[in-house]
Amino acid sequence: MNRFLPRALMAPAVAALFLWMIVPLAMTIYFSLIRFNLMQPEVRGFAGLGNFEYFVTDPSFMTAVVNTVVLLASVIAITVAGGIAVALLVDAPFPGRSLVRLLLIAPFFVMPTVNALLWKHMMMNPIYGVLAQVWQFFGLQRVDWLTDLPLFSIILMVAWQWLPFATLIFITSLQSMNREQLEAATMDGANYLQKLRFMVIPHLGRSIAVVIMIEMIFLMSVFAEIFTTTGGGPGDASTNVAFLIFKQALLNFDAGVASAGALFAVLLANVAAVFLIRMIGKNLD
């Protein structure tokens, strides 16, 4: 009885949140089970698992799943390693440190679409891009990035966008590093690498876990960068699951198949989350 009152008071908020989640999910599940193509409104009816079958048997499907995983893993690896390196660099005081830190954070506030366009035209264009000019300066064959290395180019863009986020978290985490312990280690004759391996990295463990978790959630659905640069191509070389769903929904106008795809993406995210929590959840207790 004494537990009832607080629960009753919380009920409206919980119910609202629950509805917030369950209504779109229920609609998606419903759409995924019917024939629902915007271009053929006269064709309706129960489709059973037809939409799921159609999505999973798409020739680009496996490629898209592999690309999604590769993109996730690469960007997380680059941002964690790079973030730690950069954070260590700006950890020690030096003149102008706050300004440098501010500049380091800047890319995170660039919109994904703008980021993609910057890279596409300013950096990666094979004729007038900065990278092409650099390659030419050294007398090398210019690289047509978006044609020859589409997925790598996307990874580069997204990593550039997310590096500041990781850096920021690691900088704050390093602030709370116990200086006296570090000094003691130095007195005991530990070299820099040993200190890094046995003191700094363990200290950063929890924030590394946080970075991986948050990036995982956001990078699952990378879309703007792909849409504005490669359009998923050439062929399907840079198509990820999110882009495949977009193709079904807005290029084929098939809401049924797109909903089935969306549910598959939810499944994929949950599988990934379970593994993650198993792997790094220990750090979060």
Partner 1 sequence: MRLQTTLALAAAFALAGAAHADTELVIATVNNGHMIEMQKLTKYFEQANPGVKVKWVTLEEGVLRQRVTTDIATKGGQFDIMTIGMYETPIWGKKGWLQELKPDAAYDVDDLLPAMRNGLSVDGKLYAAPFYGESSMLMYRKDLADKAGVQLGDHPTWTQVKDLAAKIHDPKNGVYGICLRGKPGWGDNMAFITTLANTYGGQWFDAGWKPQLESKPWKDATNFYVDLLKNYGPPGSSANSFNEILALFNAGKCGMWVDATIAASFVSDPKQSKVADKVAFAQAPTAVTPKGANWLWAWALAIPSGSKKVPEAQKFISWATSKDYIALVGKTNGWATVPTGTRKSTYENADFLKAAKFAPAEKAAIDSANPNDSTLPKSPYVGVQFAAIPEFQAIGIAVGQQMSAALAGKTSVDAALKASQTAADREMKKAGYYK
Spatial separation of the C-alpha atoms in residues 250 and 238, rounded to whole Å: 18
Using CB under 8 A as the criterion, what x/- string covers residues 253-272 for binding partner 1?
A: xx------------------
CA angle 50, 53, 55 (to 5 degrees): 110
247 binds partner 1 (CB under 8 A): yes
Stretch that binds partner 1, among 53-61, 63-71, 80-88, 214-222 (CB under 8 A): 53-61
127 binds partner 1 (CB under 8 A): yes
Chain positions 74 to 93 lying near partner 1, rule: CB under 8 A, are: none
What is the three-class DSSP state of 45? coil
- Residue number, 9 or 127, with CB nearest to partner 1: 127
183 binds partner 1 (CB under 8 A): no
Work out the angle between the directed axes of helices 61-89 and 150-175 (0-180°, nearest 10). Answer: 40
Among 34, 107, 144, 283, binds partner 1 (CB under 8 A): 144
Spatial separation of the C-alpha atoms in residues 43 and 35, rounded to whole Å: 7
205 binds partner 1 (CB under 8 A): no
37 binds partner 1 (CB under 8 A): yes
Among 83, 164, 232, 261, binds partner 1 (CB under 8 A): 232
277 binds partner 1 (CB under 8 A): no
Spatial separation of the C-alpha atoms in residues 195 and 185, rounded to whole Å: 7
Do 93 and 205 touch, CB atoms closer than 8 A?
Answer: no
Conformational region of residue 61, where left means phi above 0, alpha means psi within -120 to 50, and beta covers everything else: alpha
233 binds partner 1 (CB under 8 A): yes
128 binds partner 1 (CB under 8 A): no
- Residue 37 main-chain phi, psi, to 5 deg: -110, 125
Residue ranges binding partner 1 (CB under 8 A):
37-41, 43, 54, 57-59, 126-127, 144, 146-148, 231-237, 247, 250-254
